[in-house]
Amino acid sequence: MKEILEGLLHFQYPNQRELAATFLRPQEHYESSEFKGKIFTLDEFKKWYVQNYPEAIKAGGKFTYYEDWDGFNIPGHIFNPFFEGKFNPLSKREKNLLGMLEDRKGEKFYTIGTFDNGDPTDVTHEISHGLFYLNPDYKRKAVEIVRNLGVQDNKRLHKYLSDNCYNPEVFDDEMQAYTLASLKYLEEEEGVKITPGMKLASLKLNEIYNKLLKARK
């Protein structure tokens, strides 16, 4: 674990499976279309996921979560019910994660997770989530940029997020992160049409992102 900016904690795992298995329940408690704000077991989540997530459905009902997700982002307060025992029994991985966050309880912080040899743009994507949460000026500017995308661009990105089981409450945050760092991924891996308006928005987001990170180094 490394604190890359004040309050922004980056957890780097040796492989994608270890990362995803560790962060699954906190992440889905934070932003799932089905489980946001709910207390649930891993088995309950698996049963829902294989019936609702596109990649799992394509795989014939196989639980593909550990291969589907390669970056994670979670506000610190989301861990409170885990510390309070509401998600017990915790897995060994979850206990280890909470142990590393123990001394942060009561503070405002943000966690991101990636894995060794993953796509470098994943780190940028996840850092932008941390800035969105921790830095009001970044959030204000990012929201303004993505909300000024054209109607069709907004519809296209909202559809992608909805199809991939994101809760609408995190759409602005996810739109800025995908637009900032992941347009190539959306186009090449997900078949999302990338327009000149999206590319311009990406340039604007990168400008404020890079200025902020440079100023904090």
Q: State whether residue 114 is helix, strand or coil.
A: strand
Q: Is the dihedral of CA 81, 83, 84, 85 positive or negative?
A: positive
Q: How far apart are CA 53 and CA 64, in angstroms?
A: 9
Which residue type occupies 28?
E
pLDDT confidence tier of residue 17, bands split at 50, 70 and 90: very high
pLDDT band at 214 (very low <50, low <70, confident <90, very high): confident
Compute the residue count for the chain: 217
**Whole-prediction pTM value?**
0.94
Instruction: Give the model confidence (pLDDT) of 94-116 as tens digits.
Output: 999 999 999 999 999 999 999 99
Query: What does the alpha-carbon distance between residue 201 and residue 217 come to, in Å, rounded to a whole number?
Result: 25
Whole-angstrom Cα distance, residue 14 to residue 189? Answer: 23
Alpha carbon of residue 73 to chain centroid: 4
Segment 33-48, tens digit of pLDDT: 999 999 999 999 999 9
Does the structure show a pLDDT above 80 at 215? no
